[in-house]
A and B are shown apart, each in its own frame.
Chain A
Amino acid sequence: MTNTGVSLNVLNLRKHWGQTEVLTGIDFQIAPGGFLTLLGPSGCGKSTALRLISGLDEMSDGKILIDGKDVSRLPADQRNIGMVFQNYALFPHMTVADNIAYGLKVRKVAKQTREKSVDRVADLMALGPLLDRKPAQLSGGQQQRVALARVLVSERPLVLMDEPLSNLDAKLRTEIRSEIRALNKELGITIVYVTHDQSEALSMSDTVVLMNAGRAEQIGTPKELYDNPASVFAAGFIGTPPMNLLKVSDVTMPQDILATTAANPDDFLIGVRPESLKFPGQAMDLSATCQVASVEYEGSVFLVHLVSSSGSKFILSHTGEDVPTQGTEVVVGWDSSATHLFSKSTGKNVPLET
């Protein structure tokens, strides 16, 4: 079974319900076989975007091209798209086999071919022994695999997934995450994936579209989003724990950064990832003096919660032996290369002059 994926281009996609603007125009594209994630907090319009691509809802404006063809006005079933839903959307009165075969049946595929396809997909998803069961007799992970099998059996070149893992427990989530990733790579299906979980997005995607309030905040590879957040929002959304944002007055910094911020120091935020912070840090390019508020043990790291003299709270992720103790005053430092500068008024990243 080799499905060749198709490309997807979304141009200026807009949606409003009455007066409420849900999507204010987003653009992105995926190459055939790519894995694109729409990431964002709830209410940012990511699921709406997915439903518009699927054709289940009608867009207000914009264009959707699948494999180069404009499908903007085509009904859902003619777009040749598969979709996996958050709560699986399995038909409760049908057996697993019937669920998987439903689409083939609707499209009047001959019974023999149908059975062959179902067996093949059931093999692939390790559902063989469960084919005669009803969905209610399956665990959450099994149900999700049936939902995936139902999409795979139709050999759709483009599959949309709407938070498919959010109803599963943590261990299963990692398991199915890699299964989905493997399907994408091995079968070459193009996948558009919606999630609010940034670690899911970072670990699975080729491209991440970070959405906020109906628009694309930043589009890039997971590494680009992590290393170079384009805005305060992106900095605060990506990473566990997210990037620290400090006031200029909290930080002792070298002349060049100081020069950039000198004009209006109150408008700037200094961003630094918790894992870039070092302790003790007197000798580093930038440093901040602060109190240790609490220490959390996370297994591989200690998360040290810090409070600066001006009251800014931030986090140091510490891997060494000598963990700072609660209540002491410490100096933490970091390299200028790990420093990000943001403007409060525009919310955007300000490039550092190097």
Chain B
Amino acid sequence: MNKRLPIGLAIIMLGVPCSLLVAFTHYPAIQALINSFWNNASSRRPSRFVGVENYQALFEDDRLAQVLINSTIYALGTIPLAIGLAIGMALLVNSRLPGTTLMRLSFFMPTMLPMIAVANIWLFFYAPGIGLASQILGIFGLPSINFLGSTDTSLASMMFVAVWKEAGLFMIFYLAALQSVPTNLKDAAKLEGAGSVRIFIDVVMPLLRPTTIFVAVNALINAFRLVDHVIVMTEGGPNNSSALLLYYIYEVTFRQRDFAYGATLTVLMVIMLGILAIFQFWVLNRKAHYQ
């Protein structure tokens, strides 16, 4: 295996992935950065350099403010909920109850479905009057709610779908982590008189921390990355109440065809995610290791 590759072959093998990386990642990113300093071209006049004008527009954009607030609520709401649910499900399927294989499968199922399919399923669930959600409310004698059509509930409805879809995947990570917790640690705590809740808090939870950090990073990225359900179910509405940052970028760029402003928003998102990533890796390095 230690034979040296001929230099030509090495260049080809490096060149192919590098050129793909440049073509689809680095070039568009740099182009977006450049575009954000130019205004839109039209048939009558070409694009011209406008400096930071597009960035100044960010501060006067009321829709952007709304979208950023939505995205923050969305991230802060879905991540803890999905993690909590994932831990609960993992504990359940890790127990000695009968039927855990079936439970694992059904909890994991939403993860395997494409987001578009999930969104279509939930469109039916949320349908006012006839949907599953309305029917359940009906059983308890509550009035039907137009989940997707009301500014009060549309964002929460999107969050619910995201949690439903993501928790299953996170459960798998927690399940793996739970199964690697040594039994004799739990035995030792048990002999000291700790009950099962106490054992979970004192012994199991701290050992799950690396998993929690890993899952949180993924959940945060997904919170900004996954907007398929918004596109399918609400198109950000009503009145921008369920619009997320990435959806807004999509709308500005490809619906309104404002490529310059779209590029500016993209740069903003990349910067935000970059800062979050740096922060998370810092936490990861500090807290995740025991060995």
A residues sitting closer than 8 Å to B (CB atoms) are 54, 56, 76-77, 81-83, 85-87, 89, 91-93, 102-103, 106-107, 134, 136, 150, 154
Contacts and interface: CB of A to CB of B under 8 A. Distances in A.
Contacts of A92: 207, 290-291
A102 B192 contact: yes
Interface string B258-290: 000000000000000000000000000000001
A93 B203 CA distance: 8
Interface string B194-225: 10001000110011010000000000000000
Interface in B168-194: 182, 184-185, 187-194
Contact of B290 (A76, A89, A93): A93
Given A89-B188, A92-B207, A93-B290, A106 B182 contact: no
Given A56-B187, A83-B187, A134-B290, A89 B193 contact: no
Contacts of B185: 89, 91
Interface of B: 182, 184-185, 187-194, 198, 202-203, 206-207, 209, 290-291
Which residue of B184, B188, B209 has the most chain A CB atoms within 10 A of its CB atom? B188
19 contacts: A56-B187, A76-B191, A77-B193, A83-B188, A85-B187, A89-B185, A89-B187, A89-B188, A91-B202, A91-B206, A92-B207, A93-B206, A93-B290, A102-B192, A102-B202, A106-B192, A106-B202, A136-B290, A150-B188
Contact of A83 (B191, B198, B202, B206): B191
A107 B193 contact: yes
Given A87-B184, A107-B193, A136-B290, 6 more contacts: A76-B190, A81-B191, A91-B189, A106-B192, A106-B194, A107-B192
Nearest to B209: A93
Contacts of A136: 290-291
For the complex of A and B, the 8 pairs showing the least CB-CB separation, nearest first, are A103-B192, A77-B193, A93-B206, A89-B184, A89-B188, A92-B290, A85-B184, A106-B194
Contacts of A154: 192
A106 B196 CA distance: 12
B212 to A, nearest CB: 13
Contacts of A56: 187, 190-191
A54 B189 CA distance: 13
Contacts of B207: 92-93
A289 to B, nearest CB: 53
Contacts of A76: 187, 190-191
Contact of A82 (B191, B206, B209): B191
A228 B121 CA distance: 77
Contacts of B192: 77, 102-103, 106-107, 154
A100 to B, nearest CB: 11
Contacts of A107: 192-193
Contacts of A77: 190-194
B291 A103 contact: no
